[in-house]
Amino acid sequence: MTRDILMIPGPVELSPAVYKALAAPIASHVSPTIIEAHGAALENMRRVWLAGPETQPFIIAGSGTIAMEMAITNICEAGDKVIVLNSGYFGDRNEKMLKRLGVEVRAIKAEKIGAHPDLELLEKELSEDNYKAVFGTHVDTSTGVRLDVEKVSKHCRQSGTLSIFDGVCATAAETFRMQDWGADVYYTASQKALGLPPGLALMVCSEKAIKARKTLKSGPPLSMDWLAWRPIMQAYENRKGSYFSTPATGLISALDVSLEEILSVGMEEIFSLHQRVGDRFRSLFEEHHLSILPESKYAANTLSAVYYGEHQTILQQVKEGGYVIAGGLHPEIKATYFRIGHMGYSARNGKDVQGLIDVLKKLLSEK
């Protein structure tokens, strides 16, 4: 039986090797195979994140939202002052979580939907006031806006401010150099460019970020506490079984395989590949006079957010061609645009991207 190819901004298609890992018999979290997979995955996360050896990776059962809340509650507490660079739906979620915690939030929001937050204003704010951290979304899945994370990290380094980035729709696809740029926390979820089913919250934290956790007067919920999880992660890296809460063993085995596949291509080629794929979709939409939502120089390479224009039925038409793409997400303009995910295995294998582009070319030429 044939099935539609999933080309939404996550979950994404899985590689045959990842499927094979997921189909393996269930194993104990302290079995030799899981201990090795867990330890190797933690080590390879540093390589995919291009992070330094002193950083701490975490693999936690959960979603990208769990990862976001972990980052917030391990860094901040009531009364802290932070900046949120808001470029869409997930910037709004960041603000909501922080305010629930009693954090004072200075939001620097894009002037219009699809624009990039003002980094000159960020630099000014950091020079004039004392902020604990800056939060930003590397690629906001609702708008397709790609934040200039390198520049944000630079401003934060210069002011001694922590930098925390949502890499859910960017990790292992958009250029990110944790060590070189001096970022403090970069988190993601398993179902995007890492090429796994949903179910893992993943992050790498600097030692500076871990020290910030240690200064909190009242820590985060125990299940989210870096200090509770860190000894477990360290034990697995040392190839020793450990226990705090039962890990998602099948997903960890698949993560080990997925990271190895990504690293076998090489991070520079992975970044370049996603740039080329993003450019192909942008060229297609330009050729057929469809406007993309983000400013072109800040458009993500992992997804396309495109106004329907005259093509209001394109989701159904694409499905008839064997592919699934997504509608809009941003609540203010949800009905006016659609989204295509082109990341991870689908970007690497070539055939998924080419097949969807062929379907889109045919549909867009018919109008």
Q: What does the buried/exposed string (b/e) look like for 107-124 if buried means 16 or more CB atoms within 10 Å of the residue's CB?
A: bbbbeebbbbbebeebbe
Domains in the chain, CATH or no CATH each:
5-12+266-366 (3.90.1150.10), 16-264 (3.40.640.10)
What pLDDT, on a 0 to 100 scale, did the predictor assign at position 367?
58
Report the relative pairing of strands 104-109 and 81-86 from DSSP bridges.
Answer: parallel
pLDDT above 80: residue 2: no
pLDDT higher than threshold 70 for residue 1: no
Residues 6+ apart with CB under 8 A from 340: 7, 8, 9, 281, 303, 304, 306, 325, 326, 356
Structure tokens at 97: 């979580």
Residue 276 contacts by C-beta under 8 Å, 6 or more apart in sequence?
Answer: none
Cα-based angle 74, 75, 78 (whole degrees, multiple of 5): 100
Overall average pLDDT of the 38-60 stretch: 98
Q: Is it the case that residue 43 has pLDDT exceeding 70?
A: yes
Q: Where are the beta strands (DSSP E) in 242-359?
A: 303-307, 323-324, 326-327, 337-341
Burial of 5 (0-12, 13-18, 19+ CB in 10 A): buried
Alpha-carbon radius of gyration of the chain = 20
pLDDT in tens, 304-344: 999 999 999 999 999 999 999 999 999 999 999 999 999 99
Q: Give yes or no for a contact between 338 and 326, defined as CB atoms under 8 angstroms apart.
A: yes
pLDDT of res. 318: 97
pLDDT at res. 3: 83
Q: How confident is the model at residue 218 (pLDDT cuts 50, 70, 90)?
A: confident
Whether the pLDDT of residue 34 is over 70: the answer is yes
CA distances from 349 to 107, 174, 222, 262, 276 (A): 39, 17, 41, 12, 13
How many C-beta atoms lie closer than 10 Å to residue 1's C-beta? 2
Helix (H) or strand (E) holding 252: helix 249-265
What is the predicted pLDDT for the residue at 366? Answer: 80
* Cα dihedral 79→105→198→74 (10° resolution): -20
